[in-house]
Structure 1
Amino acid sequence: MAVTAENMQELLARELSPTQLEVIDESGLHAGHVGANGTGFGTHFRVRIASPRFEGKSRVARHRLVYDSLQVFIDNGAHAIAIEIL
């Protein structure tokens, strides 16, 4: 699966049934940084998400749910994922 904001958004929608979701590819802002692949996309992302699955869970547990869902992308080159729980 290609490391794109669209693919991440699709997967998170399936896995976490969010009530709000936005995935932003911020890779272009990190050109030349560690983990940047030189293409300007596919390495640095911001995820803004709200989900009923987060209810009663700690901040760490909420972030773990998101990271676990996105592991396939991390394994394929996503270097940094900033998570904002809404």
Structure 2
Amino acid sequence: MEMLLETAFAPTRLAVINDSAKHHGHSGDDGSGESHFTIEIESAAFAGVARLMRQRMVNKALGDIPGTRVHALAIKASAPGEI
């Protein structure tokens, strides 16, 4: 995921956090240890873009990963200088 996001957005900050252990035994946990993630990304590509569109941009960059290989994805996308 990191490589896809780096290529698509040239982020100034990127963290891909595996939250799967917090969801062990819950719906969507496939036992792989890679079912739930949080993405924190800051990129100039998000300047002037609404929150929903930012999430759509991230999902598009990740291709088939969300919804097939990853059950849940929390996205925190921001532009540089946003709080």
TM-score of the two chains, using structure 1 as the length reference: 0.83
The percentage of counterpart residues that share the same residue type is: 37
- Secondary structure, counterpart of 1:82 in structure 2: strand
- Aligned counterpart, 1:29: 22
User: How many Å separate the matches in 2 of 1:74 and 1:30?
Assistant: 16
Residue by residue over 1:2-33, the C-alpha shift from the partner in whole angstroms, topping out at 9 and shown as x without a partner, is xxxxxx11110011111110001111110111
- CA-atom RMSD in angstroms: 1.3
Q: 2:47 aligns with which of 37, 43, 55?
A: 55
Q: 1:15 aligns with which of 8, 29, 42?
A: 8
Aligned length: 78
Report deviation, 1:74. Answer: 2.1
- Quick check: 1:38 aligned with 2:68? no
User: How many Å separate the matches in 1 of 2:46 and 2:10?
Assistant: 10
- Quick check: 1:79 aligned with 2:57? no
User: How many Å separate the matches in 2 of 1:78 and 1:16?
Assistant: 20
User: How many Å separate the matches in 2 of 1:18 and 1:31?
Assistant: 30
Q: 4+ residue runs of structure 1 moved beyond 2 angstroms?
A: none
Structure 1's unaligned 5+ residue stretches are 1-7
TM-score of the two chains, using structure 2 as the length reference: 0.85
User: How many Å separate the matches in 1 of 2:65 and 2:18?
Assistant: 13
